[in-house]
């Protein structure tokens, strides 16, 4: 009877930790390209926000509040601000994940370099390369 009740009402399991869910996703090349695109869109929105804000200020000084340039630049500022607010959490998370992945790759390269030297210091720049043993 208990087995039948367990089959009908399975015990809910806890969701997997975020690292186990996100790590396989970040291994995919397409996902890496999408993450880089989100970070680049965030940076482009920042540039548009600052550039639009400067254009609004200069336009107001040059031709007043009702100038078409000022109105267009203020719309660009509003769109860029909304985009920044929407992309901020994702871009921070993705840039941190990209940074961790790059740091791991750099560590692998350093490990391989140390392993290849095998206790010898390579001297380059002279007429012939020579290896000196490390003491």
* Widest pairwise Cα distance in the chain: 85
Residue 51 lies in a domain: yes
Residue 71 lies in a domain: yes
Can you tell me the distance from the alpha carbon of 135 to that of 120, in angstroms, rounded to the nearest whole number?
9
Residue 22 lies in a domain: no
- pTM over cut 0.75: no
Can you tell me the distance from the alpha carbon of 79 to that of 84, in angstroms, rounded to the nearest whole number?
9
The pLDDT of 80-91, averaged and rounded, is 92
Q: Which has more pLDDT, 117 or 132? A: 117
Bridge partner residues of 130 (DSSP):
123
Residue 7 lies in a domain: no
Q: Note down the domain range covering 42.
A: 28-133
Residue 53 lies in a domain: yes
Helix axis angle, 18-27 relative to 29-63, nearest 10°?
Answer: 90
Residue 6 lies in a domain: no
Residue 14 lies in a domain: no
Say if residues 94 and 39 touch (Cβ distance below 8 Å).
yes
Q: Which has more pLDDT, 73 or 8? A: 73
Residue 95 confidence (pLDDT)? 81
Domain total in the chain = 1
Can you tell me the distance from the alpha carbon of 82 to that of 97, in angstroms, rounded to the nearest whole number?
24
Say if residues 88 and 42 touch (Cβ distance below 8 Å).
yes
């Amino acid at each position: 009877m208990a087995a039948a009740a367990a089959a009908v009402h399975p015990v809910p399991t806890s969701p997997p930790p975020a690292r186990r869910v996100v790590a396989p996703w970040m291994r995919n090349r397409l996902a890496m390209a999408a993450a880089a695109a989100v970070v680049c869109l965030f940076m482009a929105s920042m540039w548009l926000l600052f550039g639009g804000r400067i254009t609004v200020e200069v336009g107001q000084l040059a031709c007043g509040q009702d100038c078409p340039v000022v109105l267009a630049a203020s719309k660009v500022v509003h769109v860029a601000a909304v985009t920044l607010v929407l992309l901020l959490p994702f871009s921070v998370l993705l840039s941190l994940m990209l940074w961790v992945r790059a740091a791991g790759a750099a560590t692998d390269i350093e490990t391989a370099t140390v392993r290849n030297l095998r206790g010898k210091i390579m001297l380059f720049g002279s007429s012939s390369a020579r290896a000196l043993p490390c003491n």
